[in-house]
Amino acid sequence: MKITFLGTGTSQGVPIINCDCPVCKSLDFRDKRLRCSVHIEVNGKSIVIDTGPDFRQQVLRESIHQLDAILLTHEHKDHIAGLDDVRGYNFSLNKNIPIYARQRVIDRLKVEFPYAFAEDYAGRPRIDTIPISNQAFLFEDLEIVPIDGMHGGMPCFGFRIENFTYITDMNELPEKEWDKIAGSKVLVLNALHHKDHYSHFTLKEALDLAKKLSIPKTYFVHMSHHMGLHGQVDSGLPMGIHLAYDGLKIEI
Ligand SMILES: [Zn+2]
Ligand SMILES: [Zn+2]
Ligand SMILES: [Zn+2]
């Protein structure tokens, strides 16, 4: 299984427009963060979690030629805004792309992308929406396990595929969900910055949770510029815990 971090930044990305802080001005490529998304290659399948506003740029950068399914964590714009660009795969692969999401998210897609659901519009992105609940499901022969957490009062799904668990946009992960994560080899958690936030884990909260879950390798995503310089913050983290960066690839 091969994981590629397509984007690791918060909703505005890093650098932020019109910000001249040291992080936004940093020349370190790891301080340039597109909106959060991850690509998973497993058993010959190519899966993307979330299609934010940078989706097109991300799949071009990583030369992702195949796309078999999209999993959506929740409906915030920084996780769905790039959905229109599945057209590139519709045309080149001549197939619809299945999208797995909870019904509430699918309802939101119908508001945000009404033309995608209009049968008579030839230029629409061709998607097949499949509603999921908080129960393991099969994409072809691959088991995908949703993990249900809270994101500022909004339910948000994380996903486990084999030994990889991806959790973005949460500030609360109920203990009843922890068993689903146990035994993973790699865990991804969101960590926004240092100050308390109503809908995201802070760095300290993410570190505390990572210690409790004790997965061998943990990577943080969805960082804002207030997190600080990648090089400085990452070097101060405990063994086995890192900030992710755009383009980071791991094999499990
Ligand atoms: Zn987000
Ligand atoms: Zn900044
Ligand atoms: Zn969000």
Q: Which ligand is nearest to the CA of 10?
A: 1
Q: Which ligand is nearest to the CA of 153?
A: 3
Using the mean position of ligand 3's atoms as its centre, give its distance from the Cα of residue 78 in Å. 7
Q: Which ligand is nearest to the CA of 31?
A: 2
- 165: domain CATH number is 3.60.15.10
pLDDT of res. 210: 97
Give the range of the structural domain holding residue 199, as residue numbers without chain letter.
2-251
pLDDT per residue of the chain (252 residues) written in tens, 0 to 9: 999 999 999 999 999 999 999 999 999 999 999 999 999 999 999 999 999 999 999 999 999 999 999 999 999 999 999 999 999 999 999 999 999 999 999 999 999 999 999 988 888 999 999 999 999 999 999 999 999 999 999 999 999 999 999 999 999 999 999 999 999 999 999 999 999 999 999 999 999 999 999 999 999 999 999 999 999 999 999 999 999 999 999 999
- The rounded distance, in Å, linking the Cα atoms of 164 and 149 is 17
Q: Which ligand is nearest to the CA of 32?
A: 2
Using the mean position of ligand 3's atoms as its centre, give its distance from the Cα of residue 164 in Å. 21
| Residue 71, phi then psi, degrees to nearest 5 | -110, 130
Q: Which ligand is nearest to the CA of 149?
A: 3
Using the mean position of ligand 3's atoms as its centre, give its distance from the Cα of residue 76 in Å. 5
| Joined tokens for residue 56 | 């097109």
Using the mean position of ligand 1's atoms as its centre, give its distance from the Cα of residue 195 in Å. 17
Three-state secondary-structure class, residue 48: strand
- The rounded distance, in Å, linking the Cα atoms of 53 and 113 is 14
Given a contact cutoff of 8 angstroms between Cβ atoms, the answer to whether 186 and 5 are in contact is: no
Q: Which ligand is nearest to the CA of 11?
A: 1
Instruction: Count the domains in the chain.
Output: 1
pLDDT of res. 114: 96
Using the mean position of ligand 2's atoms as its centre, give its distance from the Cα of residue 226 in Å. 7
- The rounded distance, in Å, linking the Cα atoms of 71 and 209 is 24
Using the mean position of ligand 1's atoms as its centre, give its distance from the Cα of residue 78 in Å. 5
Fill in the DSSP letter of residue 223: B
